[in-house]
């Protein structure tokens, strides 16, 4: 598989464990502009570097800059898939929680996305050794999203990065849009990145791995000459019954899915970013059992859940 990032940029990492990382703690969030400190990010990365080699982060905010700074200053054996945090450029009536914006907001969002494009280029140049790859966005084309961006604009972002950056370029998206909608984008990507969430699609743990494999294979078979990786796959440990039944979300099921997923990925050398490192209390609704808050392999206070408890038992003391 690796081969995977071999490119005119001359970049070919070894296969290794990978994880999504968002370091926001209680009282911190991207919308509030309250970011983790250097010491908090350092604490997180010292934990993650004990097992994982690659991190995925979602935008080019202060948080991303700090993650890259910590990796460099602390000389940590980590590299980052750096992402663009895109805002909606068009309305999406199919978004269940609403994505109808005034024209002035969409216009401002377009300017913000161009600024994010400039920022990802700047960060990738400043932290060339610490950056693994560049993503032009996250779930910005799937039918239900609240930050819809036209495919033509995604092509613009990818082409710009191909010209002005020196790292492999990808786009991180649910498996469905890759079937057809994103076909015009594929020629401008070095690698395709797929998201797969069996638990969000009402699959039991007995169906989960096969469903993930089907999702992955549907994209791989659609584009046999393009490398395909997984940039999100995981299992929430708590749910309030809205979208995920409570009995289908617990630490035991998370552990089973994680073990099955990573064994399959290891056997087939499929780079897979597990979602997510730490619980994210800022996400979703105000309900404490909102599933968006509970995908972490660690709690928000950095205690390992059973899925990684044996490996990180020292953190339970």
Would you say residue 314 lies in a domain? no
Would you say residue 245 lies in a domain? no
Q: What is the pLDDT of residue 136?
A: 98
Would you say residue 301 lies in a domain? no
Would you say residue 67 lies in a domain? yes
Which residue is associated with the tokens 């796959």?
233
Q: Considering the entire predicted model, what is its pTM?
A: 0.96
Would you say residue 150 lies in a domain? yes
- The pLDDT confidence band at residue 299, using thresholds 50, 70 and 90, is very high
Query: What is the C-alpha separation between 60 and 124, in angstroms, rounded?
Result: 10
Query: What residue numbers bound the domain in which 142 lies?
Result: 18-234
**DSSP assigned state of 301:** T
Query: What is the average pLDDT value for the chain, to the nearest integer?
Result: 95
Mean pLDDT of 278-286: 94
Mean pLDDT of 175-195: 97
Task: Write out pLDDT tens, residues 213-244.
Answer: 999 999 999 999 999 999 999 999 999 998 99
Counting the structural domains of the chain, the total is 1
- The pLDDT confidence band at residue 8, using thresholds 50, 70 and 90, is very low
Give the CATH number, domain containing residue 129. 3.20.20.80
Would you say residue 275 lies in a domain? no
Task: Write out pLDDT tens, residues 90-141.
Answer: 999 999 999 999 999 999 999 999 999 999 999 999 999 999 999 999 999 9
Backbone angles phi, psi at 121, to 5 degrees: -65, -45
Cα–Cα distances (Å) from 67 to 29, 53, 176, in that order, read: 15, 14, 31
Would you say residue 23 lies in a domain? yes
């Amino acid at each position: 598989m690796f081969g995977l990032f071999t490119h005119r940029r001359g970049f070919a990492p070894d296969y290794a464990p990978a994880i999504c990382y968002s370091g926001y703690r209680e009282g911190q969030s991207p919308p509030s502009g309250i970011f983790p400190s250097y010491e908090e990010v350092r604490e997180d990365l010292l934990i993650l570097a004990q097992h994982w080699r690659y991190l995925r982060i979602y935008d080019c905010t202060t948080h991303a800059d700090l993650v890259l700074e910590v990796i460099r200053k602390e000389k940590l054996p980590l590299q980052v898939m750096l992402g663009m945090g895109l805002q909606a450029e068009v309305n999406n009536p199919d978004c269940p929680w609403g994505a109808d914006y005034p024209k002035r907001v969409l216009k401002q969002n377009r300017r913000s996305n161009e600024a994010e494009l400039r920022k990802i280029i700047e960060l990738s140049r400043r932290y060339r050794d610490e950056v693994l790859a560049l993503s032009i966005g996250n779930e910005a084309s799937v039918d239900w999203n609240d930050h819809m961006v036209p495919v033509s604009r995604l092509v613009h972002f990818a082409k710009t990065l191909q010209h002005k950056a020196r790292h492999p370029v990808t786009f991180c998206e649910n498996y469905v849009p890759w079937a057809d909608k994103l076909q015009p984008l594929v020629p401008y990507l070095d690698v395709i990145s797929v998201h797969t969430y069996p638990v969000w699609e009402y699959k039991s743990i007995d169906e989960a791995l096969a469903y993930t494999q089907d999702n992955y294979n549907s994209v791989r078979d659609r584009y046999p000459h393009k490398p395909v990786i997984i940039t999100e796959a995981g299992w929430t440990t708590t749910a309030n019954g809205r979208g995920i039944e409570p009995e289908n979300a617990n630490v035991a099921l998370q552990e089973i899915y994680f073990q099955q997923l990573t064994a399959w990925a290891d056997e087939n050398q499929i780079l897979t970013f597990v979602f997510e490192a730490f619980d994210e209390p800022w996400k979703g609704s105000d309900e404490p059992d909102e599933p968006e808050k509970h995908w972490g392999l660690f709690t928000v206070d950095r205690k390992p859940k059973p899925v990684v408890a044996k490996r990180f038992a020292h953190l339970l003391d």
